[in-house]
A and B are shown apart, each in its own frame.
Chain A
């Protein structure tokens, strides 16, 4: 589905990604772990198309098409979804209105008719249950005054509505208590199919107890330095990131 080859990216002349290679296939869940500042969130942002970063080398193929030249919205319309670490508060725009616009712009780009009000509401009702989100929250300004947990649930709710093919969850567990974490993870697991894929970016192993990855990659200094299965996450939790830092230092 997505194939990242030798990806280098920098911001304001500071090199953040130093040659990332990653292949994600449909039906897979990949976890990207790493210490603070290793480039995890940068990778998520670059894939979504944030324009602040400069791509200095490499390519990203989505369905065999290079997406690095595509706009943020075009990538979203192809099926790439980023669940934000810090969802943005947008006063005056309700979640409902926002999602209706988003869904219909995506549909339009695919030559589909816009959803009518009845079907849109039906879909909303169905997906609201999934993340136990309340109707009243959705008619309020997008994320404005939402608690940390509400914001993250809203991200997964949007994901459920948009039904992307590749979801990138950027530190979705940060700031969540255990109940919210369970709800969010349950939402993600329910949405998982053989046709879509998930990249979970996280600092801690905690979320991976709920969203079990097929592969775990450790990012350090903008490079994937170690890959393995779910046991790697447990090992990391036990030994800490210094273990990886030490290993990297030895090989240099």
Chain B
């Protein structure tokens, strides 16, 4: 069978600079497996390769600037990353937090992770020497194709909270990658608000590897974007780990958001919990795919997943698919997905007490979303989410 080489890879080939052995290996591997084709199951509802080929302008190249007003006010480390390069003069680093720019190390081997590894300007490594306040990372992406790459290393018994935000110019494609290594009994969280423009295209990979007794939490909130694809992978590589995935997508217009998540239980006695909620209005599209793997050794696994959606318009779409692959026999796994409309009886009830129809709907939807917000560890971000949701529903 002759593999169709994508036009996009052809275009990129010219700009690929083989800097190191890893990059070269990565690029070769990518050429071998190719970008997702029309038939790729993992991208069934998000034809990313053809969308990118049609829409992104690789020649776009504006000077990035970070607007200081976008900074969170909370104390902590604030990192500004311009087109994937750490901007030291714009950043503020707390004592005990170590930030290093390195060349790329090994990572995940799926097409967009490889693409990121081949093209990222540097890998920004975050680690801590002592207990730290949250680490805020602001990305400004103004070139046609940018590949920010971050690695967070949580050593034994440490706790790290990372909050990320990206500002992407129109017409750009951002292919970001963030990985977490959690040593024994470490705890790490990753939280992000995705509020992108109508013509910006995004593929984000979040990858966590966990050792014994560690806990990882991801919280991803998406409000807009012409194409947002989140690949979240958690590998529970040892016993007694916890992996939590939490998310909300509140969409309107023609936003298209695809959350593709996976948790892999490799050893016994681990726990995973996933909750994604969606509110879809106008012509928006949501895609949710949740994979749970329970390997033969992973006895006594507890794995839970749920995806609940409310469709506010006849033209909105949701494709939801849980996928459980279980090879162990003594496990507790559950999954459930629901898609429905707003409860008319509930709206009538609220209105019958003098509350306007609009406010009644907003109250019900806000309550629906609240559970996902409550899991965010940083107060300022929870406040921001509440405001964003109120604004979106008003």
Contacts and interface: CB of A to CB of B under 8 A. Distances in A.
B354 A73 contact: yes
B368 A109 contact: no
Interface stretch (B26-34, B188-196, B311-319, B345-353): B345-353
B364 interface: yes
Contacts, number: 75
Contact of A102 (B343, B346, B353): B353
B346 A88 contact: yes
Nearest to A102: B353
Interface stretch (B223-231, B258-266, B291-299, B355-363): B355-363
A92 B368 contact: yes
Contact of A101 (B346, B348, B355): B355
Nearest to B363: A93
Contacts of B354: 73, 76-77, 102-103, 105-106, 109, 162
B357 A73 contact: yes
A105 B359 contact: yes
Interface residues of B, number: 21
A73 B370 contact: no
A90 B352 contact: no
A42 interface: no
Size band of the interface chain A makes with B: 20 to 34
B352 A101 contact: no
Interface string A76-101: 11000110100110111100011101
A158 interface: yes
B349 A73 contact: no
B371 interface: yes
B349 A87 contact: yes
A49 interface: yes
B367 interface: yes
B348 A76 contact: no
Contacts of A207: none
Nearest to A106: B354
A151 to B, nearest CB: 11
A72 B348 CA distance: 7
A51 B355 CA distance: 16
Interface string B323-361: 000000000000000000001011011111111110100
Contacts of B366: 92
Interface in B246-302: none
Interface of A: 48-51, 71-73, 76-77, 81-82, 84, 87-88, 90-93, 97-99, 101-103, 105-106, 109, 141, 158, 162
6 contacts: A88-B343, A90-B364, A92-B366, A93-B367, A101-B359, A105-B355
Given A73-B351, A90-B350, 6 more contacts: A48-B352, A82-B352, A88-B349, A93-B350, A101-B363, A141-B367
Interface of B: 343, 345-346, 348-357, 359, 363-364, 366-368, 370-371
